[in-house]
Structure 1
C-alpha cells in the first residue's frame, strides 16, 4: 500500500499521488471510506487510476459517484468504463447530460474533422444533475457546487473550505480553457466566472490541468482583462461581441480616406 498524499484535507489528486501525469487532473474527494472522483480522463487510463485508488486503500465499492466537471472528451471519455468497473453513478450539470448520454463527438470535441482527429466517445447516462449552490456530500464532507460557464456551458467547480476544484477556468500560467463555439463557450460568461473566482475568499485553486496555485487578485485581473478583450477580436468569430475595426472601416469608406502614401491621383 502507498501512503496517501492529500493536497488538502479530504482531497487527493491522483496524478500527484502516483508521481506521474496520466492526463487531466483527477480529484478523489473522501471522508473516511466514502469517496467520489471529480473527472476520470481518457478511457485508456481508467485502470491506471483505479489501481492507484487500490494502492491507497480505498474500497472500490464505496465510490459514491463519478462527477464530470464538464463534457469535454479529455475529462469524461472514461466515464462509461469507470462506471461499469466501480458500479456507481455519474453526476454532472444538466447541460452535460445530452452529450454524455448520446456520446456526442462534436460537442465533446472527440471529433475535429479539419484536424483529422476522431476519438470514441462512449455514451453514459447521468443519474444525478447538479447546479449552482447544490451540495455534494461525501461522508461528513461537503462540496459546494459552482456553475462557472465560459469554457463550456456545463463547466462546474467545487468548493471545499479554502480550496476550489476549479475545472478548466484558469491555470497557473494564466491560460484558460479553450474557447470553442462547438462545446458551448461564451466569452462574457467566462469573464463573470473568472470574476467570481477572483472576488471569492477561496485561497487555493486546483485546476483540471496542471499544478495547484494561489488565488491572487492581480494575477486573476491580468487574465480577466485579456479575456474581456476577446469580445472585440475577430479571432473569436461569432463568440466576439463586436469588431471595432469594421466601424473604423465604415467611417473611412464614407470619408474616402486611405492611409497616407496609398492611392492614385488621376488627372
Structure 2
C-alpha cells in the first residue's frame, strides 16, 4: 500500500496521486471501503489507473460506480474496459446515454476527419442516469449532482461540501471547455452554468483538466463577460445569437456609406 494523498477529505485525484499526468483528471470519491470514480480517460491508461487504485488499497470489488462527467472521448473512451475490469456500473446524464451506448464517434469527438483524428469509441451500457439535484451516496458521503450544460449538453458537475468537481466548465487560467456544435455546445447554457458556479458558495473548483483552484469570482466575472461576447461573434457560427457587423453592413449598403479615406470614382 502507498500513502494516500487526498486533496480534500474523501477526494483523491489519481494523476496527482500518481505524480504523473496520464490524461484528464480522475476523482476517486471514497468513504470507508466504498468508492466511485469520476471519469476514466482513454482506454490505454485504464490499467495504469487501476494499478494506482490497487496500490492505494481500495478493494476493486467495492467500486460502486464509474461516473461520466460528459460524453467526450478523452473522458470516457476507457469506460467499457474499466467497467469489465471492476465489474461495476456506469452512471451518466440522460443526454450522454445514446452516444455512450452506441459508441457514437461524432458526438464524442472521437472522429474529426478534417484533423485526421480517428479514435475507437467502445460502446458501454449505462445502468444509472442522474440529473440536476440528484444525490449519489458513497458510504456516508453525499455527492450532489449539478447539470451544467454549455460545453456539452451532458456536462455534469458534482458538489461535495465546499468542493465542486466542475468538469470542463472552467479552468484555473480562465479558459473554458471547447465550444463545438458537434457535441452539443450551447453558449447561452454555458453562461447560465458559469453564473451558477460563480454565485454558489463553493470554495474550491476541481476541474476535469489542470490544477484544482480556489473559486475566484472576479475571474469568473471576466470569463462570463467574454463568453457573453461569443453570442455576437461570427467565430462561433450557428452557435452565435447574431452578428452585429451584418446589421451595420445592411445600414451602410442602404445609405451608400464607405469607410473614411475611400470614395467612389467620379
TM range (shorter): over 0.9
Residues in 2 aligned to 1:263 and 1:109: alpha-carbon distance in whole angstroms: 48
Residues in 2 aligned to 1:177 and 1:38: alpha-carbon distance in whole angstroms: 17
Question: Per-residue displacement from partner, 1:85-120 (whole Å, max 9, x unpaired)?
Answer: 000000000000000000000000000011110000
SS in 1 for 2:198: helix
Residues in 1 aligned to 2:205 and 2:73: alpha-carbon distance in whole angstroms: 22
Cα offset, 1:262, TM superposition? 1.7
Moved over 6 A (4+): none
- Residue aligning to 2:121: 121
- Residue aligning to 2:131: 131
Q: Does residue 38 of structure 2 align to residue 31 of structure 1?
A: no
Cα offset, 1:265, TM superposition? 2.5
Residues in 1 aligned to 2:116 and 2:14: alpha-carbon distance in whole angstroms: 31
- Residue aligning to 2:204: 204
- Residue aligning to 1:56: 56
SS in 2 for 1:198: helix
Unaligned runs of 5+ in 1: none
Question: Per-residue displacement from partner, 1:146-177 (whole Å, max 9, x unpaired)?
Answer: 00000000000000000000000000000000
Cα offset, 1:64, TM superposition? 0.3
- How do 1:164-203 and structure 2 match up within 5 A? 164-203=164-203
Residues in 2 aligned to 1:57 and 1:20: alpha-carbon distance in whole angstroms: 19
Q: Does residue 253 of structure 2 align to residue 253 of structure 1?
A: yes
Cα offset, 1:121, TM superposition? 0.3
C-alpha RMSD of matched pairs (Å): 0.5
Q: Normalising by the residue count of structure 2, what TM-score does the alignment of the two structures yield? A: 0.99
Cα offset, 1:264, TM superposition? 2.6
- Residue aligning to 1:89: 89
Question: Per-residue displacement from partner, 1:214-243 (whole Å, max 9, x unpaired)?
Answer: 111101101110011000000000000000
SS in 2 for 1:153: coil
Unaligned runs of 5+ in 2: none
SS in 1 for 2:241: coil
- How do 1:63-102 and structure 2 match up within 5 A? 63-102=63-102
- How do 1:33-48 and structure 2 match up within 5 A? 33-48=33-48
Residues in 2 aligned to 1:201 and 1:231: alpha-carbon distance in whole angstroms: 27
